[in-house]
Structure 1
Amino acid sequence: MKKSLHYFVFFICMNLYTQQRTIDSLETLLLTTNKQQDSLRLNVLIELGYNYYLSNPDKGLKVLDEAIQIAKTGNNQQHLARSYQYKGHNYSSKGEDSLALAMYDKAIAIYDKTNDKGRKARAIYNKGLVYFSQADYQQANAKNTEAYLVFKAEKDSVLMAKMLNSIGLNHMYLTDYPAALSTYFEALTLHEKLKDTTSLDYAAINGSIGMLYTRLEKFTKAITFHNKAVNIYKIKDYKYGLANSLNNIGTAYDYLKQPKNAIANYNKAFNIMQDINNPSGMASAITNIGMAYITLKDYNKALEHFKQSKPIYESLNNHTNLAIVHDNMGVCYSNLNNNLTEAKQHFKTSLAYAEEANSLNLQVNALESLTKTNYKLGNYKQAYHFMDEAIILKDSFYSIEKKEELARVEEQYKHQNEKTKLESNFERERLLAKEELDRQKHMRNLTIFGGGSLFLLIITGMFFYRKKQESDFNLKVADTELKALRAQMDPHFLFNALNSINSYILKNDTESATNYLTKFARLIRKTLESSTEKEVLLKDDIEVLKNYLDIEQKRLNHNFTYSIEVNDDIDPSNTLIPPLILQPFLENSIWHGIAQMKNSGHIKLQFKKENNLLFCTVDDNGVGRNLNETKHTENKSIGINLTKNRIDILNTQKKTKGSMTIIDKPQGVRVEVKLPLIFAF
């Protein structure tokens, strides 16, 4: 997956323009006070110290030092704690994180003495923000969770939602995507129950979900959530949040191979960041523009942008963004005069920064880049080593089980959202019915009321039942698709294929190892690419099946041949098919049919049109099911049942009559699969 910068928004302050007007008023008020007016002057100093921290933190520290002296003289513990807390804000704004943490700890110690749990939780949250800026997401999450529990005990839903958004961001950067999605949806639900769907906090959560969907390569969904945030930011005139969202929308368009749309959004973001004088935001927009130029294959322009942003991230000690920048610089050098040595160095630097940031997905990106570069340089052993590490690491954070969990979280949120709306509507209708009953209680009798109530219960019950049926069907779809993916990527096949590559390397058979590795890498890539699609082009699916058959053919020492025929009435470039739906039958033909034979066998795969259906057949001349009926029955039946479930779901969704038939021949087995005939355009 392509690497890019994402932007998050924590709402700790007001819009900078509004803040400046507040500063002007407070400075005027400060001039009218004198040192004898301790109480009034102390309040003005503290408010100034808070408002200075984004625009002029040095001034903020100066006025807060005076506030601390006044608070100590008057033994005003509450104001003293706030002064320390706001000093922490100003130190954090200057990038002096250790001093910021020390100030927050001083404030927390006072809040402990005064038993001010709410303010203590806010200071703990501030510490979490410092750890987040240092890319220490585990520490940040610990602080956010500690603050969340306090707000939960106080039943402060708004602050609970704010903490959940922060916790979700930490989960996302730690690559625990199911936990992140679940936390974001929990935060959304809190706002929706409060009917608070136009606030900046609600916008921030939608933006966070958009970022997560970008990481999950669901780019259209990502744009939808970012646009929800954009609409709120425009209404609220929150320019910083608007710029970040436009950057994130640009990233999604870049992934969708629409670089011109991406650059248009990045430029809008850059102009806003320039307008509010935010150098870091301007640099981030420039970085993303550079990545869009990579998509346009203008590598010189891309490098210019990365060279501008790299020193800024180095000064900020931002390992996450440095990993992204170096990886993209490596891409540029590998495409400029094939400068692979320079590219390799940048990929290594990217991997080191990704490990420092504890970002698994960025480590995978760097490992995959190192695999390709070493392969091009002829370092096949190193290429194999990096590829093996990438596969293991990717499995750890993007496993089938996590995909399944993500699908369940999404479905659970949809069901919960519908349930909340239904309960709300039902409660409102119940109250209206009660008022109507009280008004007309002398005009209605018990029989009519009882009949009406029964009718209402029946209608409501039917509505809930229908919603539950829809939810169950959607869960079945997600469960079947993910189990089908698990069957396609059989761990035994992966293990045996990697062992075969290793065997060629040990035998110093470089040509065979290279050939096998190329086919295997192409198969893995194509399978992962198609794993998120409901349908793929027939020509692409045939290419993946050919790759699979070639690998298995080589493993069996060419003990079988195969042929693939597509009738003239089918256009493979315009026909869609569920990805790898025929792969389990090919696997059965090879390992339960042909592998048992002494002589070489043959597999024939055919596609044609029949009664507006796509008619697919897998025909082999193996030993057949009768001779092999006691072996591997469980694995075979799982594959058959999964395919049958996928066809049943297609029939329901497309209103067609697809089917699957297994025919035992005198020698071998023939499988006939009928699917809906779907065109790409």
Structure 2
Amino acid sequence: CGVAQQKKIDSIEVLLANHKETDTIKLKLLDALAAGYSDIDPRKGLEYADQQLALSTILNKKGQTSAAYINKANNYLTINKDSLALQCLQKAYDIDASINDADGQGVILHGMAWVYQNRGEYHKAIELYQKSYAIFESLDSYIKMAAVQNSIGVSQMYLTDYQRALESYLKALKIYEINGMTESVEAATALGNIGLLYDRMEKNLEQGIQYNERALKIYRANGNKYNEANTLSNMANIYDNLKKPEKAIKLQQQAYTLFEEVGSKRGMANALTNTGIAYTSIDYYKTLEYLKRTLPIYEELGDKHGQTIALQYIGEALLNLSTTETNLADAENYLKQGIKTAKETGYLRSESDINNLLAELYLKKSDFQNAYNYKVKAVKLKDSVLSQENLEQITRLEEQYKYEKKE
């Protein structure tokens, strides 16, 4: 992690070692360490959270008991123990409800929504985010409103609602700028998400890299390895779209190493998947090698979004290898599974791409009726994802944001 953050953690650990009393001061030190380690060494973070939980129970400090459960959840999320994280968040929510802590309830709803978002349940995530936002709005808690706006944008982006996603990101960024937080990790998250959005829109890719580079600089300064890894992976995807697969593969390998250091199984799987995708322009056998490693990991995690991507590109790789009956049959099987998971997550972009691949497959089989049917579906889905009207609205939003910033 960053030198400054490590020094801070080290100093807190020294204070804890020298503090012999079983009191609220010790409790606060444990809280700081359990939270501080969540993105750096989550296993250590869990150890401190368990100590925090035990001490808060002894001292009958319900607010700190809730905080301990939240810390446990955040550490579990880093290592992809989603079900355990949800259990901890529910316990924390119940405690906060019992002591009428509205702010705490808002924070926990935000955390729960994030878990559902990770699972590809985007509509459920948005529903919980909106409940969280309403609580923070009633409390005039602007920084937390910004965090929720940013998170809503992520779910909207995965639902290919790009216009609303950009609106959400820009609203979040505006709040951070007004509050002098342009170099904060929170602002970096919004910047990185705008970069990711440009990649998904296949528009202004160079600008997408610039947004990611700004985010990367902030994460490195703060020693945030998990988000540094995510940003490197997102930048790699943009380089792949710019027809620079070797650069993309190199960045994905850097991301994988960081995800491995923090113990993020989902992050590692995503980096491997994206490496496999980058290989589609170099070596389809390498693509299959990487993606067949990640598919069972996504299934284990219950990550249908990840499954959809892996299934799509496995199908594409098989389709581009020698046209044998076996390859075509395997490709058809993977692609049809991909359409199923894409429909379940509402991931229209991938559903459109898979329909296109199936049209290509049936063309190779001289099944012109099916080829035509799938092509029509693909075009209709693509039009709904990236209509010219949406692109124009997105451009207007971007220009309006830049104009307001100048003023």
Q: Which amino acid aligns with 1:147?
A: S
Aligned to 2:227: 241
Aligned to 2:404: 416
The answer (yes or no) to whether the contact 1:52–1:59 under 8 Å persists in 2 is: no
Aligned to 1:174: 159
The 3 A distance-change label for structure 1 pair 192 and 308 is same
- Does the residue aligned with 1:197 lie in a helix, a strand or coil? coil
- Displacement of 1:57 in angstroms is 6.6
**C-alpha distance in 2, partners of 1:304/1:173?**
26
Aligned to 1:154: 139
Task: Show CA shifts across 1:502-522 (max 9, x none).
Answer: xxxxxxxxxxxxxxxxxxxxx
**C-alpha distance in 2, partners of 1:100/1:244?**
20
Q: Which amino acid aligns with 1:29?
A: L
1:371 aligns to 2:359 (yes or no): yes
**What is the TM-score normalised by the length of structure 1?**
0.54
- Does the residue aligned with 1:55 lie in a helix, a strand or coil? helix
Q: Which of the pair has the greater relative contact order for Cα pairs under 8 Å at 6+ separation?
A: 2
**C-alpha distance in 2, partners of 1:192/1:186?**
10
Task: Please show how residues 368-447 of structure 1 align to structure 2 within 5 Å.
Answer: 368-418=356-406, 421=407
Aligned to 1:63: 51
Q: Which amino acid aligns with 1:331?
A: E
Name which of 344, 358, 371 aligns with 2:332: 344
The answer (yes or no) to whether the contact 1:247–1:269 under 8 Å persists in 2 is: yes
- Does the residue aligned with 1:378 lie in a helix, a strand or coil? coil
- Displacement of 1:214 in angstroms is 0.7
**C-alpha distance in 1, partners of 2:176/2:185?**
11
Q: Which amino acid aligns with 1:220?
A: E
**C-alpha distance in 1, partners of 2:131/2:70?**
17
The 3 A distance-change label for structure 1 pair 404 and 357 is same
1:144 aligns to 2:151 (yes or no): no
Aligned to 1:564: none
Aligned to 2:280: 294
- Displacement of 1:277 in angstroms is 5.3
**C-alpha distance in 1, partners of 2:31/2:179?**
32
- Does the residue aligned with 1:135 lie in a helix, a strand or coil? coil
Name which of 213, 216, 226 aligns with 2:201: 216
Name which of 243, 262, 273 aligns with 1:257: 243
- Larger proportion of strand: 1
The 3 A distance-change label for structure 1 pair 182 and 106 is same
The 3 A distance-change label for structure 1 pair 96 and 20 is farther
**C-alpha distance in 1, partners of 2:36/2:224?**
17
Task: Please show how residues 81-96 of structure 1 align to structure 2 within 5 Å.
Answer: 81-92=66-77, 95-96=80-81
Aligned to 2:344: 356
Aligned to 2:214: 228
Name which of 22, 25, 38 aligns with 2:9: 22
Name which of 109, 114, 117 aligns with 1:124: 109
- Displacement of 1:103 in angstroms is 3.3
**C-alpha distance in 2, partners of 1:320/1:157?**
31
**C-alpha distance in 2, partners of 1:273/1:174?**
25
1:313 aligns to 2:298 (yes or no): yes
The answer (yes or no) to whether the contact 2:270–2:306 under 8 Å persists in 1 is: no
Aligned to 1:497: none
**C-alpha distance in 2, partners of 1:313/1:24?**
38
**What is the TM-score normalised by the length of structure 2?**
0.87
**C-alpha distance in 2, partners of 1:96/1:404?**
41
The answer (yes or no) to whether the contact 1:48–1:60 under 8 Å persists in 2 is: yes
Larger radius of gyration: 1
The answer (yes or no) to whether the contact 1:87–1:103 under 8 Å persists in 2 is: yes
The answer (yes or no) to whether the contact 1:64–1:87 under 8 Å persists in 2 is: no
**C-alpha distance in 1, partners of 2:384/2:330?**
30
**C-alpha distance in 2, partners of 1:282/1:91?**
15
**C-alpha distance in 1, partners of 2:258/2:72?**
28
Structure 2: any 5+ residue segments left out of the alignment? Answer: none
1:134 aligns to 2:119 (yes or no): yes
Task: Show CA shifts across 1:294-323 (max 9, x none).
Answer: 112x11122222122222222212111111
- Displacement of 1:177 in angstroms is 0.7
RMSD: 3.0
Structure 1: any 5+ residue segments left out of the alignment? Answer: 1-13, 422-681
**C-alpha distance in 1, partners of 2:262/2:76?**
21
The 3 A distance-change label for structure 1 pair 64 and 185 is same
The 3 A distance-change label for structure 1 pair 214 and 52 is closer
Q: Which amino acid aligns with 1:414?
A: K
Aligned length: 400
The answer (yes or no) to whether the contact 2:146–2:176 under 8 Å persists in 1 is: yes
The answer (yes or no) to whether the contact 1:23–1:48 under 8 Å persists in 2 is: no
**C-alpha distance in 2, partners of 1:409/1:272?**
34
- Does the residue aligned with 2:43 lie in a helix, a strand or coil? coil
